[in-house]
Amino acid sequence: MATLSWCAQIIVLLLPAVAVCVLGSIIVVRRSAARKGLKLPPGPPGLPIIGHLHLMGENPHRTLHKLSQRYGPLFFLRFGSVPVIVASSPQTARLILQTHDQIFSDRFPTTVDLHLNGSHSILNSHPDPYHTFVRQLCSTHLFSSKMVHHFGPISNQELAHLLSSILANSHTALPFPLRPLLYSTFTNIVSRMILGNKLVCQFNLLDLVLDWVHMMATFNLSDYIPCCRWLDLQGYAKQSKLLRSKIKTTFKKAIDQRRQDHAPGYDQPHDFLNTLLSTSLDNHRANIQITDDHIISILMNLFAAGIDTSALAIEWALMELLANPEKLSIIKAELCNVVGTTRFVQQSDVSCLPYLEAVIKETFRLHPVAPLLIPHYTIHPCQLLDFEIPSNTMAFVNVWAIGRDPMLWENASNFVPERFLGSNMDVHGRQYELLPFGSGRRVCPGLLLGLNSVQLVLANLLHCFDWENVGELEFSEKYDIVLQPLKPLTTLAKANLPLHVIEAQLYEAS
């Protein structure tokens, strides 16, 4: 969601031209609801036409948190003509994500999503047989425990490349930004798992991914004010069409090359692209068709979900540990005791590293990568608590606010991994106090793969190197669907393990 403070200014400028069209919908949600006798949740007064768009600002998760402190854990807003509810407690989150999961299982249709993904994406497609089938396909052939284990060597090789790059930086004794190295690592991991190789293309793949994430976060005024839908006021329709063209060029080249290199009768590679292409040839599934456009949208979803989120989670965790050196000392001592000083951390070690797992859970609590999840959308009207929710309502679950609620968490604003030691609370969507991956039928299908990747990479960064921050740590946030540090972490690294051990491990992994 981009900055919204200028939205009201745009409407004011356009008001003379669109006043006649808009006057009929000024009253929109609250009065129409009143005519139907609906009892809506409480909320602040809105403005004509734009409703509450002017309130949102650059960090909507913080704005919505402040509103929840005044209006309660379930409150009502209006974005233009679209009714909106916001859940800010475990109880109200459970109502949306579990109790009424089926009703809230749709996604709000946006112009950007239509032009970028059509109706083909995993993220935003309607809860129809196609959506169910594609999620099952991903769960079986990409995200299952068996496939995570199968792709383990790829993760280890790319991790070795990351550690090698950091080692080279450590020799220079110069500070360096960590985020580009993490982005490169996860781009290569995802590309090799899905496409079988590191994708080389006309357009930089990482740039496409980051542009896709940014475009999906844009707040298109035309989506919320019906009379403006034929106008491309902010140019987002044009931009998303151009980006889709670049994405299509990139992945269509990979698809065509695969078909050319692996004709029928040849051994097929065990990557997800081959699974998708094989599925597209199966015409026995009634009403479910997988075309190249479907495949391109699915691939883009997987790249976007697998790169940005993992890299940013690791950056947030390392920032918190640098800001809390006593916690950093504890986790490094745990790594030394469990793993020793003669090898890298393996995935099998993680279950023996409870403080590492606690650090990651605490990072997800304070810095959930998707602080508002992806907004849900009602298919039918329903009742939540004592309130009546109309159909076609957007629903945000503010997991950022839940993670910082002092009624749920002692010292809620502080980084205290110890709160999770001996706790049975996990991040799989079963406990609504901690929901970094969502819950219910829209829970992130790549939860296991993403969590394993974050654990393994963070553990090795901490085990192999000593880290020193350069300058003052800055915890200001930039909201772009995903929540990232506004100022990327710049740091110094120094080898912690003996140099010959690191070099030998890198040689073995290469």
The single-letter code of the amino acid at 156 is: N
Judged on CB neighbours under 10 Å (0-12, 13-18, 19+), 438 is buried
pLDDT at 27: 44
Domain span including residue 169: 7-509
Rounded to 5°, angle at Cα 252 from 147 and 142: 10
The single-letter code of the amino acid at 442 is: R
How many separate domains does the chain show? Answer: 1
pLDDT at 222: 87
Are 294 and 273 spatial neighbours (Cβ–Cβ below 8 Å)? no
pLDDT at 200: 58
State how far the Cα of 467 lies from the Cα of 322, in Å rounded to an integer. 8
State how far the Cα of 358 lies from the Cα of 361, in Å rounded to an integer. 5
Tokens of residue 82, six digits: 């679209």
Alpha-helix runs per DSSP H in 151-219 = 152-172, 179-195, 205-217
**Does 144 reside within a domain?**
yes
pLDDT at 23: 44
State how far the Cα of 40 lies from the Cα of 76, in Å rounded to an integer. 7
CATH number at residue 250: 1.10.630.10
The helix/strand/coil state of 306 is: helix
Residue 201 among known ligand-binding residues: no
Q: In whole angstroms, how far apart are CA 412 and each of 174, 325, 401, 404, 409?
A: 35, 19, 10, 5, 5
Per-residue b or e along 51-73, where b marks 16 or more CB atoms closer than 10 Å to that residue's CB = bbbbbbeebbbbbbbebbeebbb
**Does 103 reside within a domain?**
yes
Rounded to 5°, angle at Cα 446 from 96 and 121: 75
Tallying the residues shown for the chain, one arrives at 510
**Does 107 reside within a domain?**
yes
pLDDT at 124: 83
304: which residues sit within 8 A by CB, 6+ positions away? 209, 212, 213, 216
| Radius of gyration for the alpha carbons in the chain, expressed in angstroms and rounded | 24
State how far the Cα of 445 lies from the Cα of 438, in Å rounded to an integer. 10
Write out the DSSP string of 55-66. Answer: G--S-HHHHHHH
pLDDT at 21: 46
Are 389 and 85 spatial neighbours (Cβ–Cβ below 8 Å)? yes
Q: Which residues pair with 490 in a beta bridge?
A: 177
Instruction: Name the residue among 341, 371, 340, 348 with its Cα closest to residue 436.
Output: 371
**Does 293 reside within a domain?**
yes
State how far the Cα of 43 lies from the Cα of 73, in Å rounded to an integer. 11
pLDDT at 334: 98
CA torsion angle 136 139 142 143 (round to 10): 170
pLDDT at 464: 96
Query: For each of the chain's 510 residues, which pLDDT tens digit applies?
Result: 544 444 544 444 444 444 434 444 444 444 454 435 789 999 999 999 889 998 988 899 999 999 999 999 999 999 999 999 999 999 999 999 999 999 999 999 899 999 998 878 888 888 888 889 999 999 999 999 999 999 999 999 999 999 999 999 999 989 999 999 999 999 999 999 999 887 655 568 889 999 999 999 888 888 998 777 778 888 999 999 999 999 999 999 889 988 887 655 555 567 899 999 988 887 556 578 889 999 999 999 999 988 999 999 999 999 999 999 999 999 999 999 999 999 999 999 999 999 999 999 999 999 999 999 999 999 899 999 999 999 999 999 999 999 999 999 999 999 999 999 999 999 999 999 999 999 999 999 999 999 999 999 999 999 999 999 998 899 999 998 889 999 999 999 999 999 899 888 888 887
384: which residues sit within 8 A by CB, 6+ positions away? 41, 74, 85, 92, 95, 96, 100
Per-residue b or e along 108-140, where b marks 16 or more CB atoms closer than 10 Å to that residue's CB = bebbbbbbbbebbbbbbbebeebbeebbebbee
State how far the Cα of 212 lies from the Cα of 446, in Å rounded to an integer. 19
State how far the Cα of 334 lies from the Cα of 351, in Å rounded to an integer. 12
- Quick: pLDDT tens for 41-91: 999 999 998 899 989 888 999 999 999 999 999 999 999 999 999 999 999
**Does 2 reside within a domain?**
no
82-87 vs 394-397, strand pairing mode: parallel
Give the global pTM.
0.91
The single-letter code of the amino acid at 408 is: L
Place of tokens 């083909």: 120
Instruction: Name the residue among 153, 165, 191 with its Cα closest to residue 461.
Output: 165
pLDDT at 510: 73
State how far the Cα of 16 lies from the Cα of 46, in Å rounded to an integer. 20
The helix/strand/coil state of 208 is: helix
**Does 1 reside within a domain?**
no
